[in-house]
Amino acid sequence: MDNPIKTVNFTGGYPEKVVLKDLELKLPKGQLSALIGPNGSGKSTFVKYLVKDLKPLPYTLYLENKDITEIKQNENATLISTVNQTNHLPEGFSVFEIVQMGQYNQRINDKNKVLKALKLTHTLKFQNQMINSLSIGQQQMVLLARSICQNTDTIVLDEPFNNLDINHTQLLLKILRDLIKNENKTIFCIMHDLNLVLSYFDYCFLLSKNGKIYCQGKPEETITPESIKSVYNTTVNFIINPGTSKKVIIV
């Protein structure tokens, strides 16, 4: 089986503290997957490993079946692109210039591809505006466009729906769906909003507090009163959303 991201007996964290332990994760190709789990379970730490900000032990983390410790930074950026949670966006750059940075890994300067990425994320109209003049939701779309410009098969987004209003949330979901359908992308999101995962995602991994995968599979099978009780240590109820016929959590 072809997995864009695969971990084998993966352990990760910081000198002071091990955050992720014995992680066995195989990301399904061509799907919209989510990594969920309580605060501090190591979700964002995992993203740091994916961009080589932190260095894992050899033979524990693979991108496209290559050991990440043997992948150079630039090659890494051609296998996987990420949209980070905390983004420091510098003053004085236009939206176009920010998206163009995504082509650094390919050493190209292709205006048409930048424009295409802007179009896919519905941000073409902002191309000449300053990045800092945009709302957070719009900035999020621009950063996704930059990821698209990197031309990787896999895109990882760290809590992309944070700070988005309903309109932008639906827009982002539609864009991600289109990317999977039309561009053959694999998309992996770190998520907090379990209802979005239940309603719109294909697959999910539920991390427990001690940094192990508690369970994984289709969201409606993974996110259950029992697993929530066990991982988040809280009791929730489910109802069926009449619009989508999917389960929804009532807190």
Among 32, 77, 118, 134, binds other proteins (CB under 8 A): 77
Is position 65 an interface residue for other proteins (rule: CB under 8 A)?
no
Binding status of residue 226 toward other proteins by CB under 8 A: no
In contact, 220 and 172? CB cutoff 8 Å: no
Q: Which is nearer to other proteins, 53 or 221 (CB)?
A: 53
Q: Is 115 in the site for other proteins (CB under 8 A)?
A: no
Least spacing, CB of residue 19 vs other proteins, in Å: 16
Closest approach of other proteins to the CB of residue 243, in Å: 36
Q: Does 96 bind other proteins (CB under 8 A)?
A: yes
Footprint on residues 125-184 left by other proteins (CB under 8 A):
128, 130, 146, 150
Residue number, 51 or 124, with CB nearest to other proteins = 51
Instruction: Work out which of 1, 15, 65, 73 binds other proteins, going by CB under 8 A.
Output: 73
Query: Does 216 sit near other proteins (CB under 8 A)?
Result: no
Of residues 4, 82, 16, 46, the one with CA closest to residue 213: 46
Binding site for other proteins (CB under 8 A): 47-48, 51-53, 72-78, 80-82, 84, 86-94, 96-97, 101-102, 104-105, 128, 130, 146, 150
